[in-house]
Amino acid sequence: MATVSRDDVIATLSRLSDPETGRDPVALGWVQGVAVKDGHVTAALEVPPERGPALEPLRKAAEAAVHAMPGVLTATIVLTAQRAQGSQPGPAGQPRQGTAGRAQSIAPPGVRHIIAVASGKGGVGKSTTAANLALALAARGQRVGVFDADIYGPSMPRMLGLAGQRPTLADDRIQPLESMGLKVMSIGFMMNEEDPVVWRGPMVMGALEQMLRDVDWGELDVMVVDMPPGTGDTQLTMSQRVPLAGAVIVSTPQDIALLDARKGLNMFRKVDVPVLGIVENMSYYVCPNCGHREEVFAHGGAEKTAAQMGCPFLGAIPLDIAIRVNADAGTPIVVTDPEGAHARAYLAIADSILAQIDSGARPAAPKIRFT
Ligand SMILES: Nc1ncnc2c1ncn2[C@@H]1O[C@H](COP(=O)(O)OP(=O)(O)OP(=O)(O)O)[C@@H](O)[C@H]1O
């Protein structure tokens, strides 16, 4: 099979032209972050913000041209807007503002509350918590969407039983996949789970924007966002460009994980995103044979941290093989054992979150006047 290089991709892109100026996107300095890995090509077109929507045909043409190159298996090209320097966070619940004017929200219009599920470090069970929490919210009668923003390690396709599926287009809009009553979108639907992808800042913003704005999410009460671990470009984009109702921080009880959780929590506070609380995952272990409870990692650290940081403690989820097996098999425990103790723990977390977001500010109801 032919191998493709970065230079080949740039040469292909240079044969396209901007419909307004007739100049090619490479000469215009728009082509950024070209990455080629085992035949998978990703790149960003960093275009002037006011021309963004009008340049969608150019993005599509670029993607088609790269995809047609010998040796290219997949091509993902995203449009990103050049940002003004010195963007400042705005007040909670509002899209943050930039010096060049109001930063445009990239939130889907029909979604009432968007909640980020985040963790300071990887592997603490953030995605497992996000999947079970989404299902618990749905069990409470909410219309729920799951947006997998973990572009570095998307696990929602697997955890929600949708691995290997691809979204379809209807009326030129991407349709989210559906599983267990949830609407689901993930970058994982566009690539193989094992494929490493190198994301540069502008590409992250473009990909998030497309998955939020170009997807037909419809009307939702709550969107649960599975964030990548840590405090990077995704967290920044999501907190500055999406009016988040709040963030849920997942941590294991060990000191080192809690230290990272504090960092994550402080990041959200700095950008005025309310922290809805901390979940302690893998909190303790109950022997399935004798029922003996073992505090494997000095359980209780997250509750203490929550108290110190002045935010709610949402609950403790034990380390249990049934949680792992069901999450990894695409049938989270809230669905497989809805009456069990684990499902009840996730439902209690969902209730606490609903109580917080429902008491939050809502758009004022229209005044009815009788004349
Ligand atoms: N409470 C639990 N009991 C047992 N296993 C769990 C529990 N929570 C998560 N796991 C398992 O731990 C592994 C990591 O979980 P998960 O993928 O949710 O973590 P993550 O924090 O989202 O990781 P990443 O940062 O890689 O996205 C998975 O195999 C999952 O099934």
Distance 155 CA to ligand 1 centre (A): 10
Domain assignment of residue 91, yes or no: no
Q: Are residues 232 and 166 in the same domain?
A: yes
CATH code of the domain in which 42 resides: 3.30.300.130
CATH code of the domain in which 354 resides: 3.40.50.300
Pairwise pLDDT comparison (192 vs 289), residue with the higher score:
289
Q: Which residues contact 360 (CB under 8 A, 6 or more apart)?
A: 93, 113, 245, 274
Domain span at residue 278 reads 111-358
Please state the rounded mean pLDDT for residues 337-365. Answer: 81
Query: Measured from the CB, is residue 153 less than 6 Å from ligand 1?
Result: yes
Distance 321 CA to ligand 1 centre (A): 11
Distance 325 CA to ligand 1 centre (A): 10
Q: Are residues 128 and 273 in the same domain?
A: yes
Q: How confident is the model at residue 200 (pLDDT cuts 50, 70, 90)?
A: low
86 touches 34 (CB < 8 A): no
Q: How far apart, in whole angstroms, are the C-alpha atoms of residue 31 and residue 58?
A: 12
| pLDDT above 50 for 87 | no
Of 303, 324, 299, the residue nearest 314 (C-alpha): 303
Q: How confident is the model at residue 219 (pLDDT cuts 50, 70, 90)?
A: very high
Query: Measured from the CB, is residue 319 less than 6 Å from ligand 1?
Result: yes
For ligand 1, what atom is nearest to the CA of residue 122?
25
Query: Measured from the CB, is residue 261 less than 6 Å from ligand 1?
Result: no
Query: Measured from the CB, is residue 282 less than 6 Å from ligand 1?
Result: yes
pLDDT in tens, 238-250: 888 899 999 999 9
Query: Measured from the CB, is residue 280 less than 6 Å from ligand 1?
Result: no
| pLDDT above 70 for 6 | yes
In the annotated binding site, the residues are 120-127
State the pLDDT at residue 198: 62
Q: Are residues 193 and 300 in the same domain?
A: yes
| pLDDT above 90 for 224 | yes
* Mean pLDDT comparison of 129-143, 220-234, 268-282, highest-scoring range: 129-143
Q: Which token pair is 305?
A: 């941290």
Q: How confident is the model at residue 187 (pLDDT cuts 50, 70, 90)?
A: confident
Q: Are residues 155 and 249 in the same domain?
A: yes
Assess: ipTM above 0.90. yes
Q: Are residues 46 and 161 in the same domain?
A: no
Q: Are residues 248 and 123 in the same domain?
A: yes
Distance 328 CA to ligand 1 centre (A): 9
Q: Are residues 38 and 165 in the same domain?
A: no
pLDDT in tens, 33-57: 787 777 878 787 888 777 777 888 8
Domain assignment of residue 370, yes or no: no
Q: How confident is the model at residue 64 (pLDDT cuts 50, 70, 90)?
A: very high
Domain assignment of residue 183, yes or no: yes
Domain assignment of residue 102, yes or no: no
- How many domains, the chain? 2
Question: Residues 279, 272, 223, 345: what is their CA dihedral angle, to the nearest 10 degrees?
Answer: 20
Task: Provide the pairing of β-strand 97-98 with 101-102.
Answer: antiparallel
Q: Are residues 261 and 124 in the same domain?
A: yes
Domain assignment of residue 196, yes or no: yes
Domain assignment of residue 179, yes or no: yes
| pLDDT above 90 for 317 | yes
| 53-67, 164-178, 196-210, 307-321: least confident range | 196-210
Pairwise pLDDT comparison (118 vs 121), residue with the higher score:
118
Q: How confident is the model at residue 259 (pLDDT cuts 50, 70, 90)?
A: confident
Q: Are residues 220 and 328 in the same domain?
A: yes
Of 284, 349, 336, 301, the residue nearest 140 (C-alpha): 349
* Residue 81: strand pairing partners: 47
Q: How confident is the model at residue 92 (pLDDT cuts 50, 70, 90)?
A: very low
Q: Are residues 67 and 121 in the same domain?
A: no
Strand, helix or coil for residue 92 = coil
Q: Which token pair is 94?
A: 């509002």
| pLDDT above 90 for 141 | yes
Q: Are residues 325 and 285 in the same domain?
A: yes
Domain assignment of residue 75, yes or no: yes
Domain assignment of residue 95, yes or no: no
State the pLDDT at residue 293: 80
| pLDDT above 50 for 91 | no
Q: Are residues 171 and 231 in the same domain?
A: yes
Q: How many residues in the chain? A: 371
Query: Measured from the CB, is residue 121 less than 6 Å from ligand 1?
Result: no
In the annotated binding site for ATP, the residues are 120-127
Report helix angle 341-358 to 126-139, nearest 10: 80
Counting ligand 1 atoms within 8 A of each CB, the residue from 121, 124, 126, 128 with the most, and so the one to mutate, is 128
Q: Which helix (H) or strand (E) holds 339?
A: none
